[in-house]
Amino acid sequence: MSNTRRGFFVMSALAGATLATWRLADWVSAQAQSAPQATTQDLRRAEDLLRQMTLEEKAMQLSSMFPMALIGTDGLLRD
């Protein structure tokens, strides 16, 4: 393959990746704008919970998975 042809393919790939990145950035921006905003009360509650948690509990949260046993056909199971 000649250097010119290789250069063309490289430039085409870079252009495609750039366009895909722009589209992804637009999508992320739209998602962020449509997401509900946390209220001050929500943030205070989260901070309070974090203060009460031990370091071990915080580490466990990082590796936790959603307990699928709590999901029924109509959504989350309630008391």
**Domain range for 63:** 3-76
Q: What is the pLDDT of residue 51?
A: 92
More confident site: 53 or 18: 53
| Total structural domains within the chain | 1
Q: How many CA atoms lie within 13 A of 68 on its CB side?
A: 0
Q: What is the pLDDT of residue 69?
A: 62
Q: pLDDT-derived band of residue 2, with 50, 70 and 90 as boundaries?
A: low
The token pair at 47 is 């901070």
User: What is the average pLDDT score of the chain?
Assistant: 76
Q: What is the pLDDT of residue 66?
A: 63
CB-CB contact of 67 with 59 (8 Å): no
More confident site: 52 or 14: 52
The model carries a pTM of 0.36
In angstroms, the CA 75 to CA 79 distance is 13
Which residue type, as a one-letter code, is found at position 30?
A
